Copies of this chain bind each other. A is one copy, B any other.
């Protein structure tokens, strides 16, 4: 979507084709997951023949890498859009949940089983820090004075991941728990581990969230 107004017509055409490839890739991922992503199938659906796609992506890995980046970007944008309106942690939690439920495969592309050889480029680390920054800001505003704890002190001493954010130790601890606990519930729910167990996953999510924000669970 970005930089569709490139300098030369060549670059514009190239960007358009790349976008079309990625769109077909997303449809395929949403249908059968990332492991079933096939360059040949995309080419077939686009009406071109296989190797044509290699003019736009070096290979399957590069395409997936770019899709992972787009997924991160999408999540960061969703979180940030809510954060700039002054959303509290509970609101951000529901943004996260809605984003995950909208396309589970996209969520697993980010937080699922890591691809064997894949290593996240620096760009991903940056986006990840953007998300964390919004969480830290929300937690700092929501609960300025969290009682100190040994682990919070450890986090205060190892706050590289906060990227210079001035969040107090308690907010570091809360933001981290927010991430890991909600991911725990979401990933198990999306993977279907709760199906047949009887209870309502939405209520479990809500209960974990309520526990985080200090209400009754």
A interface residues with partner B (beta carbon < 8 Å): 32-36, 108, 111-117, 120, 125, 128, 149-152, 154-155, 158-161, 173, 176-177, 179-185, 187-188, 191-193, 196-200, 203-204, 206-208, 211, 216-217
Given contacts A111-B193, A181-B208, 18 further A-B pairs with CB under 8 A are A108-B113, A108-B114, A112-B112, A113-B113, A113-B191, A128-B193, A149-B207, A152-B217, A154-B199, A158-B200, A159-B198, A160-B198, A161-B196, A173-B217, A176-B199, A180-B185, A180-B208, A184-B185
Q: Given the complex, which residues of B lie within 8 Å of A180, measured CB to CB?
A: 181, 184-185, 188, 204, 208
Q: How many chain copies does the complex carry?
A: 2
Q: Is the CB of B33 within 8 A of A196?
A: no
Given contacts A149-B216, A151-B206, A181-B180, contact A116 B187 (CB under 8 A): no
Given contacts A154-B199, A155-B199, A191-B114, contact A177 B208 (CB under 8 A): yes
- A199: min CB distance to chain B, Å: 4
Q: Given the complex, which residues of B lie within 8 Å of A207, measured CB to CB?
A: 149-151, 173
Q: Given the complex, which residues of B lie within 8 Å of A193, measured CB to CB?
A: 111, 128
